[in-house]
Structure 1
């Protein structure tokens, strides 16, 4: 008996470093006699979104390890792990007028195009051990 498991890949998070004030737990007397928290500046990474082209390889490896461990515990032996790839592209083309005095004759065009592929998911095939 065989079993097939689909493991989706996720894009990696993207972000930036941000400087924030973090309380130290200490208090100090304020100018008018009150107490206020003592803070220090720290740089922390803040997620701003998700990549549109880079896969979170570490998460995918952990997800694969979890599936393989689960299959082994159920008495299956992994036969193959097959990556599934997807792709994305973009392009643009513009035609501009040209010629003497921009009268519309003798124009030229320009543009660009690119494409790339990425791992979309993994398919794990396993066989029941005897």
Structure 2
């Protein structure tokens, strides 16, 4: 008996470094005798969204390891792990009249495409 398991890939989180003030827990006396908390500046990474072209390879590897471990504990032997590739593209082309006394034509165009691992398909066979 065979079993097929789908392991989705997720895009990588993207973000930026942000400087924040963090309390040290210490207090110091102020100019007028009051106490105020001491802070220090710290740089922290803040997620702003998700990549549209790079997958999170570390997460995919961990998800695959979890699936393989589960199948092995159920008595299955892994036969194959097949990547599923997907892709995206964009293009633009524009032709305009122009030149000397509007008798000529000119224009431009561009296009690009890329592929990425969309998921993995794990095929396993029941050990007799």
Which range, TM-score by smaller chain? over 0.9
How far does the alpha carbon of each residue in 1:44-72 deviate from its partner, in whole angstroms, 9 at most, with x for none? Answer: 11111100000000000000000000000
Partner of 1:110: 108
Aligned twin of 1:127: 125
Aligned to 2:46: 46
Q: How far 1:75 sits from its partner (Å)?
A: 0.5
2:98 is equivalent to residue 89 of structure 1: no
Distance across 2 between alignment mates of 1:56 and 1:71: 23
Using the alignment, how far apart are the partners of 1:96 and 1:25 within structure 2? 66
TM-score (norm 1): 0.94
Moved over 6 A (4+): none
**Unaligned 5+ runs, structure 1:** none
Partner Cα distance (2:13, 2:55) in 1: 9
Count matched residues: 128
Output the CA distance in 1 between the equivalents of 2:107 and 2:66: 52
Quick check: which one's strand share is greater? 2
In the TM superposition, residue 122 of structure 1 has moved relative to its aligned partner by 0.2
